[in-house]
Structure 1
Amino acid sequence: MRRTLHVVAAVIVRDGAVLACRRLPEKSAGGLWEFPGGKVEKGETLSEALRREIVEELATDVRVLGELTTDDTDLEEVTIRLSCLRCELVGPAPETSSDHDRLEWVATDRLSELEWAAPDLPAVRLLSVSA
């Protein structure tokens, strides 16, 4: 039976741009761009998991505004169920990340110019259309 991994990501919007993060080269999907976030742990809501991950990865905090999309992506051994939540910063703008080598604020009409990890593509397409 195929395992499903529940993951949550922050679509942080600031001044018409969205925070994109490039994965460290040594990580799976290294060098690809993604929205920051991580695995949902047992007993956590999506919002709780997201806020925990943002504190861990980016040393800041967000306010969750609502869900943008939830999509399943089948990878070799697992299905990733990624819930992307619209957020705004309530802490300082992140400058570094524990899981990424580059952070960039990208205008929504430029999101398609980056090479994204497969699970993030449905949200990227949705954001690009609404640009």
Structure 2
Amino acid sequence: MTERIVVVGAALFDGGRLLAARRSAPPELAGRWELPGGKVEEGETPEVALARELREELGVAAEVVERVPGEWPLKPPYVLQVWSARLPPGSAAPRPLQDHDELRWLTPGEIWHVDWLDQDVPAVRETLTRVPGAR
């Protein structure tokens, strides 16, 4: 049996809005939206991996807060786990540095205005239960 590989995603919140990132690569994913993040490397905890990925992909030092319950299958052997995160006061605005060409802060009413990657949809639904003011 192949060991599973964890991919971490960030439910990055700011003022009740959720950050969505539009993929620029690979070609089969380009133009679709996802929660930013990436693979957990050997020797990393998921929380450390997520903080690293947000630095690399968005240029931000986000605070990882708590795991969103659930785990969602991606292309085998990958699985997606999501953590809520926030930007410390006075942080620079996130910007697309790697693998993305656009970022959007979405209010709960705008969440479904973007074309999410199919595998991110269940995770996004679960994160909506954690958006401040979205209940």
TM-score, normalization by structure 1:
0.86
Partner of 2:35: 35
Q: In the TM superposition, what is the alpha-carbon distance from 1:2 to its structure 2 partner?
A: 5.2
Amino acid at match of 2:65: L
1:28, CA displacement in angstroms?
4.3
Per the alignment, residue 81 of structure 1 pairs with: 79
Q: Any stretches of 5+ residues in structure 2 without a counterpart?
A: none
String of CA shifts for 1:25-51, please: whole Å, max 9, x gaps. 544421110011000011111110001
CA distance in 2, matches of 1:45, 1:85: 12
Q: Take 2:24 and 2:85, find their aligned partners in 1: how far apart are those partners?
A: 23
Structure having the larger proportion of residues in strand: 1
* 1:1-38 deviation digits (Å, cap 9, x = unpaired): 45633100111100110110000054442111001100
Q: Which residue is 1:63 aligned to?
A: 63
Give the conservation status (yes or no) of the 8 Å contact 2:25–2:99.
no
CA RMSD of aligned residues (A): 1.9
2:52 aligned partner, one-letter code = R
Deviation at 1:115, TM superposition (A): 1.1
Instruction: Tell me the percent identity.
Output: 35
CA contact (8 A) 2:19 2:105 kept: yes
